[in-house]
Structure 1
Amino acid sequence: MIAAMAAAVTAPGAATIVGHGPYEIAAFLRPQPAVALPGVGPVSARSLARYGITTVGDIADTPPATLQRILGTAARQAHDRAHGQDDRSVVPAVAPKTISASRRFDRDELDPDQHHRTVLGLIEQLGARLRDEQSVAQAVTLTVTYANRTSTTRTRTLIEPTAHTADLGATARELLALLGL
């Protein structure tokens, strides 16, 4: 739960580090808006706000009996999660085998700057899709198809699986250089 909440407030390419100790977890959770807590949707957040409970820290500080009157059966779960306790099991999602992006030129493109811009644009698309799907890439493959319909493919396994555009872009630029276009 903490990791998912941290990922939700972290900009692409950045990192949010939350320590594993109770003080670090509380320091991260308490200022978050109530609606950021899993299980507290917009309707529950509005109900809580009518009582001045607008942050996760407010939920943690509210007596369970009061939360029960406001939220009903969801009160215990909200109270536990506001204290950093989540009893849901972690089930890793199966990553897709491949995702791709392509760009077809209307004519033979001989400009190396255009090649770089195109590859980096495609990598930005892929990075955004990976982050939207909460997935990572383990390798980058670059395929170039020529006017005579032959193609060349190069693949590089990443040092560490990632969805960060900068890392994907660096690998894609290396592959493009290997093609020697």
Structure 2
Amino acid sequence: MAKIAAERGKPRGFAVIGAAGAASLLAPEPVTLLPGVGPAMARRLAAAGLTRLGQLAALSPQEAARRFGEEGMALAARARGEDARPVVPERETRSMSAETTFDADLSAVEALERPLWRMCERLSRRLAEKGFSAGGAVLKLKTAGFALRTRHARLPAPTVLPDTLFAAARPLLLREADGTAFRLIGIGAQPLVPLALANRGDLADPEAPRRAARWKAMEALRARFGEAAVVRGLGLRAGP
């Protein structure tokens, strides 16, 4: 329910879904709204005449189990807004990302590059804070029609530098920016690599340690004097 509420509140609002009103709010929605209902399960439900969450919620536990197994009981309960599973916040971190939703859809490469650069800087900061670096870069785009696109690029060496992340993500962006309007852009790090292995420099990029030292100095200035103390690269461009 929290995930559904978060999606409804984007980009700047929020949504509150109370326990008493959850079932009625969910009832007219398609079954694909429910986390855990992928294409295969959606086809199984549709074959049984169940395309709306209200129809799924109306099944008794016995009927849901008979038609869809133990998984059916859980799905029918969640369609009513019921979920007894405990929240387990501790899990192994496999990826890390930063993303932003635009106030207005963007389609031009130049308009998309600036927020991508800001997300690269944000991701670099998060990686360093958590003791990780990026072994690969993942570009995330969501179209105005809510279709999600993810594109991957393997990095030649682990990095935590925003310029290296941007250099890997920009060619991916250029291939996707074909006039399509996008409402969200993000950059992810996957796989995650220990921070100690990042930016060591090699024949392909001997300047990496020096750039890493400059970036750390810039971050120290920002921590002391604020984000505007040092602005570089695409952060200087006007636009969104």
Deviates more, 1:84-93 or 1:117-126: 117-126
Residue 15 of structure 2, aligned match among 10, 13, 17: 17
Q: Deviations over 1:77-102 (max 9, x none)?
A: 11211111112221225779x979xx
* Counterpart for residue 69 of structure 1: 66
CA contact (8 A) 2:6 2:15 kept: no
Q: Is the 8 A contact 1:35 1:41 kept in 2?
A: yes
Counterpart in the other structure of 1:45: 42
Matched, 1:128 2:186: yes
The 2-side partners of 1:45 and 1:79 are apart by 13
Q: Cα gap change, 1:129/1:6 in structure 2, threshold over 3 Å: closer, same or farther?
A: farther
2:85 corresponds, among 84, 88, 96, to 88
Q: 1:57 aligns with which of 54, 58, 62?
A: 54
Structure 1 unmatched ranges of 5 or more: 101-116, 134-147, 158-170
Deviation readout 1:106-151 (Å, 9 max, x if unpaired)? xxxxxxxxxxx97654114447236x99xxxxxxxxxxxxxx9784
Partner of 1:105: none
8 Å Cα contact 1:30-1:58 kept in structure 2: yes
Deviation at 1:71, TM superposition (A): 0.5
8 Å contact from structure 1 (residues 47, 70) kept in 2: no
Mapping for residues 93-112 of structure 1, pairs under 5 Å? none
Question: In 1, distance between residues paired with 2:16 and 2:230?
Answer: 37
CA shift in 2, pair 1:81/1:118, >3 Å: closer
Which of the pair has more CA radius of gyration?
1
Any conservation in 2 of the 1:26–1:83 contact (CA below 8 Å)?
Answer: yes
Name the CA shift for 1:26/1:122 in 2 (closer, same or farther; >3 Å): same
RMSD across aligned positions (CA): 4.2
Check whether the contact 1:33–1:55 (CA below 8 A) recurs between aligned residues.
yes
Count of residues in correspondence between the two structures = 132
Give the fraction of aligned pairs with identical amino acids, expressed as a percent.
Answer: 29
State TM-score, norm by structure 2: 0.41
Q: In structure 2, what is the equivalent of residue 176 of structure 1?
A: 230
Gaps of 5+ in 2: 99-111, 124-184, 191-209
The TM-score, its normalising length taken from structure 1, stands at 0.52
